[in-house]
């Protein structure tokens, strides 16, 4: 099992380029199941989660090919398979988004029910409610969800206890685009990744109105045709790099970003005293005299609120700020495993229900730490960049699921970071995202 070794305390300088968005790519890959004809995707990140989804699509009859120029070609060749293989599906929760496309395109879908998750309870009731409202007959058998019946369209409300659902919206939208009627989705998620999926589908001939709002109107069409599409930049990777630049008080420019996707993050960073120059497609950190931020509070919420996927990284940032900050997690109230690992580096953090209270300290010290999920690993790498001494982040296979060559990108701006390959009997196959 690989680990990442970081010798902290180095200043960084230069550009950190952002890859395509993982969370936009995964549902768009599932959407290929709906399309007749070839699809060409650009700006697809080379991540293990993307490779897992490609293996699932291949089992479902899709031909996939990475071109030498980095574009990804996909085309459905065989429409007979309607069951997503358990062995692959269990590796990644996001693979549940093949349910809607399989049902509407192949008449029936059988997909493994997602199991437990380190964030706590992660139900899929809203996905199923949406399909039922569109005409799906839902049943369960041997750990699988089966959706059958004719997709007729209809009215569905996808609001849950914490707001909308990202992949639930994606799943229902994909079923609705080929349904034999019109669908209204109220309380649809409006995350940029959901918008990218809807725009991709429209480029293939779907009729989705209201993109970017909570109310989507989808007129079903008979078929979708292929198209060429470029995936949006990864706002979470961009926000992670920004935290690294600010924590190390370094003149670093995060490039290839869409700043409009990061407004909540930028607002909190500025409130904490970060000096940022924002351009059309870049965000530059300008070092400050003190090099230390003021503590600020955040509460995670669905978009356009502060994203839960940047909560762990923001906690690493606040661990060294001046004062006390309160981080409240409203999307996944149990998503705090990273707090204990950050404490091993000297951070002062205590939990109170869905909140973490962080008392900033001037210095963190390197230590061996364990990554528990994708964003937790990113927060530990960030903390390692400023900790005194060596930090070894173990179980880095988590980070490879969502960050493309993170150590290489950070090396290019001067970080003392390396991946150490170690042979191991097994790497976990349990998914968090």
Between 18 and 295, CB nearer to ligand EPU: 18
Between 23 and 328, CB nearer to ligand EPU: 23
Residue selected from 43, 52, 156, 165 as contacting ligand EPU according to rule CB under 6 A:
165
Q: Tell me the C-alpha to C-alpha distance, in Å, between residue 423 and each of 51, 68, 203.
A: 22, 30, 45
Least distance CB 328 / ligand EPU (angstroms):
13
Alpha-helical segments (H) within 86-219: 86-89, 99-106, 125-133, 166-177, 192-203
Residue carrying structure tokens 């061996």: 368
Residue selected from 309, 329, 404, 407 as contacting ligand EPU according to rule CB under 6 A:
309
| Distance separating alpha carbons of residues 406 and 403, to the nearest angstrom | 6
431 binds ligand EPU (CB under 6 A): no
- Judge whether 412 and 14 are in contact, CB under 8 Å: yes
Residue selected from 61, 160, 287, 368 as contacting ligand EPU according to rule CB under 6 A:
160
162 binds ligand EPU (CB under 6 A): yes
Alpha-helical segments (H) within 64-141: 86-89, 99-106, 125-133
In eight-state DSSP terms, residue 250 is -
376 binds ligand EPU (CB under 6 A): no
| Distance separating alpha carbons of residues 207 and 358, to the nearest angstrom | 47
DSSP per-residue codes, 251-265: -EEEES--GGGGHHH
Using left for φ > 0, alpha for ψ between -120 and 50, and beta otherwise, residue 259 falls in alpha
Residue selected from 30, 104, 166, 254 as contacting ligand EPU according to rule CB under 6 A:
166
Residue carrying structure tokens 């390959």: 421
375 binds ligand EPU (CB under 6 A): yes
Between 105 and 235, CB nearer to ligand EPU: 235
Between 170 and 318, CB nearer to ligand EPU: 170
DSSP per-residue codes, 345-403: TT-EEEEETTEEEEE--S--B--EEE--SHHHHHHHHHHHHHSBSEEEEE-THHHHTT-
Between 372 and 433, CB nearer to ligand EPU: 433
Residues 122-151 that bind ligand EPU (CB under 6 A): 122-127
Instruction: Write out the two tokens for 350.
Output: 């205590």
Residue selected from 100, 233, 244, 402 as contacting ligand EPU according to rule CB under 6 A:
402
Catalytic residues: 117
174 binds ligand EPU (CB under 6 A): no
3-7 vs 417-420, strand pairing mode: antiparallel
Task: Point out which span in 102-110, 118-126, 210-218, 419-427 binds ligand EPU (CB under 6 A).
Answer: 118-126
In eight-state DSSP terms, residue 315 is H
Task: Point out which span in 73-81, 165-173, 288-296, 314-322 binds ligand EPU (CB under 6 A).
Answer: 165-173
Between 26 and 364, CB nearer to ligand EPU: 26
Residue selected from 332, 364, 370, 391 as contacting ligand EPU according to rule CB under 6 A:
332
Least distance CB 433 / ligand EPU (angstroms):
4
Task: Point out which span in 154-162, 218-226, 319-327, 353-361 binds ligand EPU (CB under 6 A).
Answer: 154-162
Between 2 and 193, CB nearer to ligand EPU: 193
| Distance separating alpha carbons of residues 348 and 271, to the nearest angstrom | 21
Between 8 and 309, CB nearer to ligand EPU: 309
| Distance separating alpha carbons of residues 30 and 53, to the nearest angstrom | 8
Task: List the beta bridge partners of residue 369.
Answer: 393
Helix (H, G, I), strand (E, B) or coil at 134: coil
Number of residues lying near ligand EPU (CB under 6 A): 25
| Distance separating alpha carbons of residues 193 and 184, to the nearest angstrom | 19
Site track for ligand EPU across 85-104, x = CB under 6 A = ---------x----------
Task: Point out which span in 76-84, 163-171, 224-232, 243-251 binds ligand EPU (CB under 6 A).
Answer: 163-171
Residues in touch with ligand EPU (CB under 6 A):
23, 26, 94, 122-127, 160-162, 165-168, 193, 308-309, 331-332, 374-375, 402, 433
């Amino acid at each position: 099992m690989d680990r990442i070794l970081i010798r902290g305390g180095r200043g960084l300088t230069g550009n950190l380029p952002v890859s395509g968005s993982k969370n936009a790519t995964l549902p768009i890959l599932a959407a290929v199941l709906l399309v007749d004809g070839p699809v060409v995707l650009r700006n697809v990140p080379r991540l293990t989660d993307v490779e897992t989804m490609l293996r699932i699509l291949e089992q479902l009859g899709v031909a996939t090919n990475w071109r030498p120029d980095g574009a990804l070609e996909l085309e459905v060749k065989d429409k007979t398979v309607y069951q997503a293989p358990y062995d692959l599906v269990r590796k990644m929760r996001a693979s549940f988004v093949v349910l809607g496309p399989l049902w509407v395109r192949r008449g029936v879908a059988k997909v493994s029910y997602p199991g437990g998750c380190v964030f706590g309870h992660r139900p899929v009731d809203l996905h199923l409610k949406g399909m039922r409202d569109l005409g799906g007959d839902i049943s369960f058998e041997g750990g699988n969800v089966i959706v059958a019946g004719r997709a007729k369209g209809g009215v569905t409300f996808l609001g849950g206890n914490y707001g909308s659902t990202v992949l639930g919206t994606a799943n229902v939208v994909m079923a609705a685009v080929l349904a034999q009627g019109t669908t209204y989705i109220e309380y649809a998620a409006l995350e940029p990744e959901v918008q990218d999926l809807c725009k991709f589908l429209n480029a293939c001939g779907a009729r989705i109105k209201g993109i970017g709002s909570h109310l989507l109107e989808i007129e079903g069409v008979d078929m979708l045709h292929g198209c060429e599409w470029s995936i949006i930049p990864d706002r979470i990777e961009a926000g992670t790099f920004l935290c690294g630049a600010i924590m190390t008080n370094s003149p670093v420019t995060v490039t290839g970003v869409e700043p409009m996707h990061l407004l909540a993050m930028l607002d909190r960073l500025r409130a904490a005293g970060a000096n940022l120059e924002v351009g059309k497609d870049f965000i530059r950190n300008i070092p400050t005299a003190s090099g230390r931020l003021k503590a600020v509070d955040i509460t995670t919420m669905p978009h356009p609120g502060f994203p839960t996927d940047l909560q762990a990284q923001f906690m690493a940032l606040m661990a060294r700020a001046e004062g006390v900050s309160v981080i409240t997690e409203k999307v996944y109230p149990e998503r705090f495993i990273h707090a204990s690992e950050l404490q091993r580096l000297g951070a002062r953090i205590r939990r109170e229900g869905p909140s973490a209270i962080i008392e900033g300290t001037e210095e963190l010290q390197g230590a061996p730490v364990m990554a528990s999920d994708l964003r937790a690993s990113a927060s530990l790498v960030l903390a390692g960049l400023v900790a005194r001494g060596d930090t070894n982040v173990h179980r880095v296979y988590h980070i490879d699921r969502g960050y493309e060559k993170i150590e290489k990108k950070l090396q290019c701006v001067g970080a003392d970071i390396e991946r150490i390959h170690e042979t191991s009997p097994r790497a976990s196959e349990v998914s968090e995202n």
